[in-house]
Amino acid sequence: MFRYAGIGFALVAVVLGAVSGMALAYYQVHRLPWSGRPLIGVTPAEPIVVNFPARSQGDVARPAGSLPRVEASEMEYDFGSIESEGKYRHEFLVRNVGDAPLTLRVGDSSCRCTVLDFSQATLQPQEGIKIAIQFDAHEYIGPVSQHASLVTNDPQNPRLILKIKANVERSIRVVPAELVFSRIVRNQAATGEVRVVIFRRQPVTITDIRFEETENETLPFLELSHAPLTAAELAGEPGATGGYRIMVRVKPGLPVGPFHQKIRIATDQSDIPSVEVPVQGRVESEFGIIGSGWNAQRGILHLGRIQRESGSQARIMLRLPALPGQTLEVEPVRSVPEFVQVQVRKEETVQAGESVLIPIIITIPAGAGPANYFGDSEEELGKIFLKTNHPAAPEIKVLLRLAVD
């Protein structure tokens, strides 16, 4: 009996608690303001209004949804072919095609591109401004691309990049840039030339041309001359407006060994420094060897490491002064090591100016060796001995560096 009475009291307490909770919730929602705590599972009867902070005086007022939008008349400008000594300017038109104020300020730029007379600006809708960019082409040669940038408040284009490009040509170009005499035989003359090509629109005249190193021992043996390039020669240089051929003659008698000089060319153009052309070369004795592996400085023919199974062969040219009215005769005498074979190709002899070039074939036959002649001193090197009918060189010795493994 008492057990059923307890159950009844519990049910009454649960019902009263539920009714009280519903009444309290109704009162909070409809009669009291929201406390800020989340309302879980409850839909408010009225919308929640959020009050944003008041706008500061520095903010730009604009209608809801309005935005600035930056636009340039072109994103890249091509100067075409320009001279390397000049500075070149181009103006880009930048506009605000949006419906809110656009702010601009100078951003980064590449090393030779400069934004002129501008740091920052604000453009109202549909306003524009000209941005001048200058490119310094000094010391540039060939195709080049540079840029300058503007920082904007356009959310879709916060960094506007303006580009320029050009093909930079020298105002004066020397072809080749250096005059090299690769091989001059002592007591024989040689000639070489360079071309000075001019690309300026106004006429350019050479006012002075000379060898710069006046104390150099080469000076008495070198001659300079120049002449204008012909129309046919200029046709091979697109954009050229003129030019000169500079000719250098090496007289016989220049001492054996390397030599160097400099040509200094001055023009009537005050803004162009004088042009310098290096000259270098090497004078060799009338007696010499030409061929792959020949070290003229040390007088050694390098044959390298040779596989015993396959052997090897090398071809050189022996150069001797011609004998007027006589046929030059050359014959092999002996070799060290003895298995080195030497063949003189008399039928392939070539007359070259005042010299005679005689082909010589040096063969290391398969199966020869082993041998090691890779030393530095003459005693450690291989050798071949030749005899000739030339009174100035009755016997010729050629040192060989080789090893047969």
Q: How far apart are the C-alpha atoms of 277 and 196, rounded to whole Å?
A: 10
- CATH number for the domain formed by residue range(s) 70-169: 2.60.40.10
> 288-404 domain in CATH 2.60.40?
yes
Element (H, E) at 20: helix 2-31
The per-type count for the chain, helices as H runs and strands as E runs, is 2, 28
Element (H, E) at 3: helix 2-31
Q: How far apart are the C-alpha atoms of 176 and 278, rounded to whole Å?
A: 10
Q: How far apart are the C-alpha atoms of 145 and 112, rounded to whole Å?
A: 10
Longest dimension (CA), the chain: 158
Over its length of 405 residues, how does the chain's per-residue pLDDT go in tens digits?
Answer: 444 555 555 554 555 555 555 655 555 545 544 444 444 344 444 433 334 344 444 344 455 568 999 999 999 999 988 877 678 899 999 999 999 999 999 988 886 677 878 888 999 999 999 999 988 887 778 899 999 999 999 999 999 999 999 988 778 888 898 999 977 877 788 999 999 998 887 888 888 999 988 887 888 999 999 999 999 988 888 888 899 999 999 998 887 677 889 999 998 887 776 888 999 988 877 778 888 888 877 778 999 999 999 999 999 998 888 888 888 889 999 999 999 999 999 888 888 777 889 999 999 999 998 999 998 787 889 999 988 888 877 888 888 999 998
What phi, psi does 149 have (nearest 5°)? -130, 155
- CATH number for the domain formed by residue range(s) 172-283: 2.60.40.10
Q: How far apart are the C-alpha atoms of 13 and 341, rounded to whole Å?
A: 127
The three-state (H, E, C) secondary structure of 163-223, written as one string: EEEEEEECCEEEECCCEEEEEEECCCCEEEEEEEEECCCCCCCEEEEEECCCCCCCHHHEE
Element (H, E) at 144: strand 142-152
Question: What is the CA 23 to chain-centroid distance, rounded?
Answer: 85
Angle at 216 between CA 214 and CA 219, to 5 degrees: 70
Question: Which residue ranges does the chain devote to CATH 2.60.40.10?
Answer: 70-169, 172-283
What phi, psi does 15 have (nearest 5°)? -65, -45
Q: Which of 113, 94, 97 has its CA nearest to residue 105?
A: 94
Q: How far apart are the C-alpha atoms of 312 and 301, rounded to whole Å?
A: 14
Q: Which residues of 249-262 are buried (b: 16+ CB within 10 A; e: fewer)?
A: ebeeebeeeebebe
